[in-house]
Structure 1
Amino acid sequence: MPPRSYDPSKLQQLAEREAQTFSKHHPRSAQLAEEAKHYLYGGVPMHWMSDWSTPFPMFVQHARGAEFTDVDGLRYADFCLGDTGSMFGHSPEPVANVIAEYAAQGYTTMLPSEDAIAVGRELGQRFGLPYWQMATTATDANRWALRWARAVTGRKIIIVFDGCYHGTVDETMVRLQQGKTVHRKGLSGQALDLTQYMRVVEFNDLEALAHALKPNDVAAVLCEPAMTNIGMVLPDKNYHQALRRLTREQGTLLIIDETHTISTGFGGYTKAFGLEPDLFVLGKPIAGGLPCSVLGVSAEVAQRMQQLKAQQRTDPEQHAGHGHSGMGTTLSANMFTMRVMRANLEQVMTEAAYADMIPKAEYLAQGLRELISKHQLPWCITQIGARVEFQFSATAPRTGREAEAAFDDELEQCIHLYLLNRGMMITPFHNMMLACPATQTTDIDQLVTTLDAFVQELYQG
C-alpha cells in the first residue's frame, strides 16, 4: 500500500506539470486574461476569481445544466455549480422560460407585485416562518437580520462560531484566537473594532456557548446549521436542541443561515432537523442563479418589529421618515426577480429535485470513501444532502479550528488543477462538490476515477 504521507517535491512536480498543461490548452483564456488586466483590477470582475488553482483565470463561454464550456471550447462537468448559486443546475428551464417571457415587461418599479405574495406563501410553508422580506444577497439579508435582532432586543452583542461563513457582513469577520475574539487576518480597510460587539465561540462547544451567553447581553446567535466554508463541520447529536434552549433561556434570538445547508433537503436543515429559528436567512440558489436572498422572521419577532416602529413614529428624536431604517436597497425585491424566484421555488427547488440530487451525492460520497479506503488515506468524507466534501483529516472535524488544521493548500490546489485539466471542476478554496438534477452518474464515476489517478501518481508514481 502507498504511504499515508506524500513527497512534497513530488507534489511540486505534479503541480508544475499541470500548470503547463493548463496553459497549453487554454490559449484564448490566456489572451483574455492579459487583456482584462488593462480594465479590471487583478484582471477579473471580482478579485477572488483569480484565486483558483489555474495559472491565469479561465474564461467561461456558456453553462447549462451540470456542465459548462470555456472560451477554448473545452467542456467541464461542473460539481461546483457556482458554490451553491446554481445548486439546481445552470439555467434551469422553468427559470429560463420566465426570463425570456417577462424580460420585456419591466424590472424595477419600487412597488410590490402579485408574485411577491406567492413567494412569501411558499417560503412560509417550506421553512416554517410566517413573515418574509427580500434582499439581493445573503450578505444583505444577514446584515438586516443582525440589525433587527439588535433593534428588538435592545442589545448589541452578537455571537458567531469560529470559521463561520455569512457572506461579507462586517461583524462576522472575526475569529477565535487563544480564547479571545480577534479580527480575521487580511481584513482590508477595517476601521471599526469589531471585537467590541462580537463574541466568537467554537462550534459544538456548548460550555463555551453557555459562558458567552451568561452576561445576558447577547442580541443574537448567528449560526450555520453545519459549518460549510472552512471545510464542513457537522453538529453533534442534540447540539441544536441545546443551542435553542440556551438562547431562549437568555432571551437571545437565533438566526439560522441556510445559504449553503439548503442542500440538506426541501426545507433545508431547518425542516429536516426541526430547528426553530427566530430569524432565517437564505441566498444563492433561491432565484435560480440570479441575485436574490430572503429573510424570514417568527411571529413574535415580527410583532416586536412592529412595536419598535410604532415607538419610533411617536418619538420625534427617533422618527427619521420613510426608508431610513438602515435596511433595504433599491433593486431588492424587484418584480422581475420576484417572478423568477416564484418559478424557481415552484418548479425547480422541488421535493422531486432533492429526491434526484441526494442519491447522486450519496453515490459520489460512497465512491470517495472507497477510494480513501483503497489507498489508506488519512482523509474523511462529510455530506449534507446534495453537498459532499473530502477533507484531509482521518476523522470528521468538530470545530472550525480542527477543520482549518486539516487544510493542505498545496495539495488542494494541485488536486483542483489536475481535475480541471481532465474536465472536472469542484469548488475552489476547499474540496466541496454538489450534485444537481442534471448531474450524470458517468461524470461522478469520472470524477472519482480521476481523483484516484491523481492519488496513484502522487503516492505511487
Structure 2
Amino acid sequence: MTTESGVDRALLAGLAARERGVFAERRPRSAAAYQRADHLFGRVPMTWMNKTAAGFPVYFERASGNRITDVDGHEYLDFCLGDTGAMAGHSPAPVVEAVNHRLATLGGATTMMPTEDAAAVGAELSRRFGLPYWSFALTATDANRWAIRLLRAVTGRPKILVNSYCYHGSVDESLIVVGPDGRGTSREGNVGAPVDVTATSRVAEFNDLSMLEAELAHGDVAAVLMEPALTNIGIVLPEPGYLAGVRELTRKYGTYLINDETHTFSAGPGGATAAWDLAPDVLTIGKAIAGGIPIGAYGLSADLAGAILGRSDLDLVDMGGVGGTLAGNPVSMAAARACLDQVLTEQAFERMTATATAFATGLRKIIEGYGLPWSVSRLGARVEYRFADPAPRNGTESAAAADAELEDFLHVYLANRGVLLTPFHNMALMAPQTTTADVDRHHSIFADALSELTA
C-alpha cells in the first residue's frame, strides 16, 4: 500500500530491515559499548541520544571540520553538525587555539570573575543582532528561562506565548501545542511538568495572526517566545507580512517579543533578525556561537534593560533566580570571541549559504525526478526535506507530515554509506568546510535510496 508519503509500506519495511542489519553488522564496537554502559540512565549520557534509526547509537571517536570518525573506524560526512552546535565545524582551529591559550597558558576554567573576552563578545553580538546589552548562560535553554523570568518580573504578567510544536530547549512553558479543539494542551510526552502547561502558557499556530491576537487579547501574556522560522519540527518559513504582524500585535497588547535564534542563526551572520530586519525586545542564542563549547546568551533592548535595572525590588546579583556559577566562564568567552571573529564570519556565511542553495536545488531535482510528493525548505545554511507538498505552513501541519519509518530508513541508509543527518528530523546543515563535492556525495546516495524506494 502506498501512503501519503508516496512510498510502498511493505517495500519500505523490507529495505529498512536490511539497512538496520547492515548497520549492526558493521558497528560491533559501538554495539558493545552501548551494552556495557550499565550505569548510564538509558545507556547514554543524555536520553535523547537514544534517538537513533538503527537500535543503538554510533559511538564517536574523533572529528574535524565536517567529518566524524566512529569507534569502528567509519568516517562520516557530517550534515548534522551537533544539531547546530558544531555549525562552525568540529574543533575549528581558532577556537581550539583560544581555548588552549585560556586553559594551558592563562589558566582558570572558572573564576566567577569577568574577562575582557566577555565584553568583546557582547559588543560583537550587539553589532550583529542590534540589541545593545547582553548576558550569558551555558545553554540557550537557560537563556530562554532567564529571559522569561525577567519579562514576567517587569510586566507582572504570568503567561508566555509560544507557537505550536516550537522548540526552545526544555523550557517548561514551551511544551504546549494547539489541540484538535483549537485550544492549548500539553505536548504529548511532556515529562514531569510542574503544573498544567495551560496555567503558564498560551499557544498560537505559526503564520496565524488571528489566533495570535485572540490569545494576546487576554492581557496576561508577558512575552511571545518564538523562532523567526520554526526549525525543530522541520523548517517552517514565515509567510510574507507574518513577522511584521507579530511585532505589531505584541506592541499593541503590551507584550515583549523574544526571538530565539539558536537554530535560525543559520540565516546569516546576524541570524534571521538581521537578515529580515526584525526588532525583538530580547534575543536568545546558544550552541553555535562558541564553536561547540557550551554557551548561551540573551540580548536586551535599551528600554527593557533600563526598565529591569531600574527595579530595586529585583535581586539580580544574588538569589533572584537569574544566573549560574559557570555562566560567562572564561573558556566559553574565549571560544565565542574566536568563533565569531574568525570562523562564523560574513564571508563564511556567504559560502555556507551558497552551498546550502546548491544542496536544496539538487535535492528538489532528485525528488521531482522520482515524482514524490515531498518538498524542500531552506533557511540560509540549513536545508530540510519534508514528506509533504506543499511544505507545511505551521507546526501542527508539520508534525502531521512526519513519517518516522520513512525517516529512519533514509537516516540509516545514509549512515551506512557515510553520511549523517540530524537524528531528530531530515535537516542538513552546511559548515564553512562543506564543499559542493560533499553535496554531490549526499545527493548520489540519496538518489540511490529513492531509486530503491520507488522500484
Class of the TM-score when normalised by the shorter of the 2 chains: over 0.9
Q: Structure 1: give runs of 5+ residues left out of the alignment.
A: 313-318
Distance change >3 Å, CA 410–CA 102, structure 1 → 2: same
What's the CA shift string for 1:102-147, capped at 9, x where partnerless? 2131111111011111111111111100000000000000001111
Once the two structures are superposed, residues 240-259 of structure 1 have per-residue CA deviations (whole angstroms, 9 ceiling, x without a partner) of 11110111011110000000
Q: Which amino acid aligns with 2:404?
A: D
Match of 1:420 in 2: 415
* 1:232 aligned to which of 223, 232, 235: 235
| Equivalent residue letter for 1:83 | D
For structure 1, which segment, 320-329 or 138-147, has the greater mean C-alpha deviation from structure 2 after superposition?
Answer: 320-329
Change (3 A) 1:320 1:404: closer
Q: 2:372 aligns with which of 364, 371, 377?
A: 377
Is residue 362 of structure 2 the alignment partner of residue 367 of structure 1?
A: yes
Q: Distance in 2 between matches of 1:99 and 1:296?
A: 24
TM-score, normalisation: structure 1:
0.96
> Which of 350, 360, 372 pairs up with 1:355?
350
Correspondences of 1:232-251 after superposition (within 5 Å): 232-251=235-254
Q: Counterparts in 2 of 1:47-196, with a 5 A limit?
A: 47-104=47-104, 105-177=107-179, 178-196=181-199
Deviation of 1:99 after TM superposition, in Å, equals 1.6
> Which residue number corresponds to residue 321 of structure 2?
326
CA 1:410 to 1:377, structure 2 compared with 1: closer, same or farther past 3 Å?
A: same
Change (3 A) 1:419 1:320: closer
Q: Once the two structures are superposed, what CA deviation does each residue of 1:370-403 show, in whole Å capped at 9, x if it has no partner?
A: 0011011100000000000000001111111111
Task: Spell out structure 1 runs of 4+ moving beyond 4 A.
Answer: 319-322
Distance in 1 of aligned mates of 2:44 and 2:390 = 37
- 1:23 equivalenced with 2:24 (yes/no): yes
> Which residue identity lines up with residue 124 of structure 1 in the other structure?
S
Distance in 2 separating the partners of 1:112 and 1:6: 56
Q: How far apart in 2 are the matches of 1:171 and 1:181?
A: 12
Alignment map for 1:277-426 (pairs within 5 Å)? 277-308=280-311, 310=312, 312=313, 322-426=317-421
SS at match of 1:333: coil
- 1:315 maps to none
For residue 113 of structure 2, what is the amino acid of its counterpart? L
Q: Distance in 2 between matches of 1:396 and 1:323?
A: 47
| C-alpha deviation, 1:320, in angstroms | 6.1
Cα distance, 1:437 vs. partner? 1.2
Question: Could you give the per-residue CA deviations for residues 336-381 of structure 1, whole angstroms, max 9, x where no partner exists?
Answer: 2111111111111100110111100001001101001101110000
Whichever residue aligns with residue 435 of structure 1, its letter is M
Pick from 211, 214, 225 the counterpart of residue 214 of structure 2: 211
Distance 1:10 1:193 in 2: 42
The alignment of Structure 1 onto Structure 2 pairs a total of residues equal to 450
What letter corresponds to residue 48 of structure 2 in structure 1?
W
One-letter code aligned to 1:448: H
Q: Distance between the aligned counterparts of 1:263 and 1:375, measured in 2?
A: 29
**Residue 441 of structure 1: CA displacement?**
1.7
SS state at 1:122 partner = helix
| Deviations 1:394-417, CA, capped at 9 Å, x for gaps | 111111111111111000000000
* 1:405-457: CA deviation from partner (whole Å, max 9, x where unpaired): 11110000000000000000001121000111111222211111111111111
**Structure 2 alignment gaps of length 5 or more:** none
| Structure 2 residue matching 1:103: 3-state secondary structure | helix
Contact 2:164 2:203 in 1 (8 A): yes
Report the secondary structure of 2:135's partner residue: strand
Identity of matched residues, %: 48
CA distance in 2, matches of 1:29, 1:92: 26
**How far off is 1:54 after superposition?**
1.9
Corresponding residue for 2:265?
262
What's the offset of the Cα at 1:35?
Answer: 0.8
1:20 to partner: Cα distance: 0.8
Q: Give the TM-score, by structure 2 length.
A: 0.97
Separation in 2, partners of 1:329, 1:155:
24
* Separation (CA, whole Å) in 1 of partners of 2:224 and 2:439: 37
Give the aligned partner of residue 277 of structure 2. 274
Give the residue type in structure 1 aligned to 2:122. Answer: G
Q: In 1, Cα distance between the equivalents of 2:146 and 2:368?
A: 45
Correspondence for 1:316: none
How far apart are 1:322 and its partner, in Å?
Answer: 4.4
Looking at structure 2, the residues matched to 99 and 129 of structure 1 have their Cα atoms a distance apart, in angstroms, of 27
Alignment-derived partner of residue 39 in structure 2: 39
- Alpha carbons 2:228, 2:260 under 8 Å: kept: yes
In 1: Cα distance, 2:268 partner to 2:398 partner: 24
Query: Structure 2 CA distance, aligned partners of 1:429 and 1:337?
Result: 26
**Structure 1 residue 215: Cα displacement:** 2.1
Give, in angstroms, the shift of residue 64 of structure 1.
0.6
Residue type matched to 2:400 in 1?
A
- For 2:330 and 2:62, the matched residues in 1 are separated by 26
